[in-house]
Chains A and B, each alone.
Chain A
């Protein structure tokens, strides 16, 4: 079945440093979503990418969808302590199934 992997599993950065998490699917995806879960909280939707090679920005966050629609990345510029949490990608295999990645846990040291 479809598998979605994320790397790294954990990332510790100093406040102000950049951060990137990568999401890789074993199958081609129709779209990919990114969610953020703060410690003790529930996942909150960040963005959805649909088109091959698509790039979207939200303030300091940049999201990319690969040309082959099998991978994606989330890049945070100049991290802040408010960025702490676990970032999940979730991929849809053209309606056949829907899988969340295991997440990347980000900690930001002040």
Chain B
């Protein structure tokens, strides 16, 4: 049972444009959501998170939106840069469970110069 799903395995955008990565979840008990970026042969790097009490969190070029009723979150990167090319994972957890993160399958983002 895949509780966190990223339905797009890949996304290609032009440099300077917006990248929108999507993530859906099924477990309504999840109340903390994160996005990680991963380069090949490296561990994931934390990007941004959002608690379920919010619907938006912004950090520089990165903004995460949460729609609890739709059980959907998205990561917006604007403007996109070639260095943003990586695999992006969304993850979810229940705060009360501590650090158990459930990851999506990842989306390969390619930003073309």
| B and A form one assembly | no
Q: Point out residues on B near A: beta carbons under 8 Å.
A: none
